[in-house]
Structure 1
Amino acid sequence: MWEQIRLLCPLAQPEQILLDFEKGAINSFEHVWPNTVVKCCFFHLTENICCNLQAVGLQSDYTHNEELAMRIRKIPTLAFALPADVPDVFCQGAMNLPLRLR
């Protein structure tokens, strides 16, 4: 799809694009426009976390354990941290998660 768009708009050099967390879309976009900054949608970040909870079998724990749910709901706040602070902020949050989630 991105290659078709590039054919239609050969002079286009987007500075940035907002995508969901579809890895295939991100990879294919970066292949066509490697110098464009790819940003991902906050809504889709939260949706991705929910999908991963289901994929690893934690949906029931999330639903029935309010403390766990509160901690998991804090994960998207990493999107608001300065890039240099993300590892420290993540580690601080990870230390409060149950061992099986670290």
Structure 2
Amino acid sequence: MKCTHELPYRIGGRWTAHVLRALQGGRRRFGEVRGEMPWVTAKVLAETLRAMERDGTVSREAFEENPPRVEYELTAQGRKVLGLLDLCCDWARENLVET
């Protein structure tokens, strides 16, 4: 279920809902998450992911490889926020007039 750009609420920062959707399918590398949101700069995405990690909605795992590899995944709390996002999307579809 996609629904982020027409959502009348913001969960966290501006791009948090998009990151939640990008990670809902499971663990992903930074580049994969960025591929879901090409309009967001790498700097802003990194800041968003760091904030989500601090909030406890995303976990980050860095691997000792060359080149470095970092993967992100929703935590149990992040999965709960997905449920809230789904409710907000349902409300928006039922109550907002299409333009």
Q: Which band: TM-score by shorter chain?
A: under 0.3
TM-score (norm 1): 0.24
Structure with greater strand share of residues: 2
Higher relative contact order (CA 8 A, sep 6+): 2
TM-score (norm 2): 0.24
Structure with greater helix share of residues: 1
